[in-house]
Amino acid sequence: MKKVVVLGTGGTIAGKASHASDNIGYTAAQVGVAQLLADVAGMPALLAGRLLESEQVAQVDSKDMSFAVWQSLLQRVHAHLQADDVQAVVITHGTDTLEETAYFLQAVLPADLINAKPVVLTAAMRPASSLAPDGPQNLLDAVAVALTPGAHGVVAVCAGAVHTAMDVQKIHTYRLDAFSSGDAGPLGYVEEGQLRVLRNWPLAPSDKAYIAIKNIANDNRWPRVEIVMNYVGGSAAVVNALLRPAPGVDPLRGLVVAATGNGTMHEDLEAALRRAQVQGVQVVRATRCASGRVVSGAHAEFEDANGLSPVKARVALMLALMSS
Query: For residues 277-296, which are near ligand ASP according to CB under 6 A?
Result: none
- x/- mask, ligand ASP, residues 38-77, rule CB under 6 A, reads -----------------------xxx--------------
Q: Which amino acid would we find at residue 249?
A: V
Which DSSP helix (H) or strand (E) runs through 162?
A: strand 161-164
Angle between helices 67-82 and 208-218 (to 10 degrees): 120
Question: Considering the rule CB under 6 A, would residue 31 count as an interface residue with ligand ASP?
Answer: no
Which C-beta is closer to ligand ASP: that of 90 or that of 242?
90
Q: Residues 6 or more apart from 142 whose CB is under 8 A from it?
A: 90, 120, 121, 122, 157
Q: How far is the CB of 28 from ligand ASP (least distance, A)?
A: 4
Query: For residues 84-143, which are near ligand ASP according to CB under 6 A?
Result: 94-96, 123, 125
- x/- mask, ligand ASP, residues 200-239, rule CB under 6 A, reads ----------------------------------------
Q: Which residues are catalytic?
A: 12
Q: Give the count of alpha carbons within 13 A of 210, CB side only.
A: 8
DSSP 8-state class, residue 96:
T
Query: What is the total count of residues that contact ligand ASP (CB under 6 A)?
Result: 11
Angle between helices 208-218 and 98-108 (to 10 degrees): 110
DSSP-derived 3-state class of residue 102: helix
Burial class of residue 101 (count of CB atoms within 10 Å of its CB; 0-12, 13-18, 19+): buried
Which C-beta is closer to ligand ASP: that of 12 or that of 106?
12
Q: How far is the CB of 98 from ligand ASP (least distance, A)?
A: 7
Which C-beta is closer to ligand ASP: that of 156 or that of 259?
156
Which C-beta is closer to ligand ASP: that of 36 or that of 322?
36
Assess contact for 108 and 209: CB atoms under 8 A. Answer: yes
Among 6, 7, 12, 129, binds ligand ASP (CB under 6 A): 12
Contact residues: ligand ASP, CB under 6 A: 11-12, 28, 61-63, 94-96, 123, 125
